[in-house]
Amino acid sequence: MVQDIYTAVIEPRFAETDMMGVVYHANYLIWCEVARTGLSKHLGYSYSKIHEDEVIWPVRRASLDYRRPAIFGNRIYVKTMIRTFSGVRLIYNYEFSDEEGNLLATATTEHGATNSDLRVINLYKVDPEMAQCLDCYVKICKEQENK
């Protein structure tokens, strides 16, 4: 059973930057996806298995708050937490930091649970094992938040 918060490590590519070596702002959304994919593996679920089970998590809403620029050549750490899980809705929070621990940005994405026809499903009914796993991770995130 997972007992820690997942953090993705990103190595910004030169192609993700502008002429000053600053990471282009839209890449943070791509890094959110990288972090979610990594979190799935961290929790014991691969994206391919999830899609085989016909569970799809389309993004309903995304927000980003930039504080400092991410720079080419510096690793980025994306702490990935689940704020809310209801069986039909999932909200992730992300914290982007650099190697020195400086907070670069925060983000939130909200997802709805659907089947392959994009009809809303309840994960507690479709995949109770995965739902329980997500519930456990939410508890870990809340414990971390309260420290």
User: Quick one: three-class SS letters along 58-100?
Assistant: CEEEEEEEECCCCECCCCEEEEEEEEEECCCEEEEEEEEECCC
Token digits of residue 72? 């080419």
Looking at residue 49, what is its pLDDT?
65
Q: How confident is the model at residue 47 (pLDDT cuts 50, 70, 90)?
A: low
For 27-42, b/e burial (b = at least 16 CB within 10 A) is: bbeebbeebbebbbeb
Which residue ranges make up each domain of the chain?
A: 6-140
Q: In this predicted model, what pLDDT tens digit does every residue of 69-113 receive, in sequence order?
A: 999 999 999 999 999 999 999 999 999 999 999 999 999 999 999
Q: What is the pLDDT at residue 147?
A: 72
Q: How many helices (H) and strands (E) would you count in the chain? A: 4, 5
pLDDT at 13: 94
pLDDT-based confidence at 24, cuts 50/70/90? very high
Average pLDDT, the chain: 92
**Cα–Cα separations (whole angstroms), residue 124 to 72, 80, 87, 121, 139:** 42, 22, 6, 9, 17
Q: List the catalytic residues.
A: 18
CATH superfamily of 6-140: Hotdog Thioesterase (3.10.129.10)
The β-bridge partners of 112 are 89
pLDDT for residue 53 is more than 80: no
Q: What is the pLDDT of residue 50?
A: 63
Half-sphere exposure of 28 (CA within 13 A, CB side): 27
The pTM score is: 0.92
Strands 6-10 and 89-97: unpaired
pLDDT band at 1 (very low <50, low <70, confident <90, very high): low
E strand or H helix that includes residue 112: strand 103-112
CB 115 within 8 A of CB 125: no
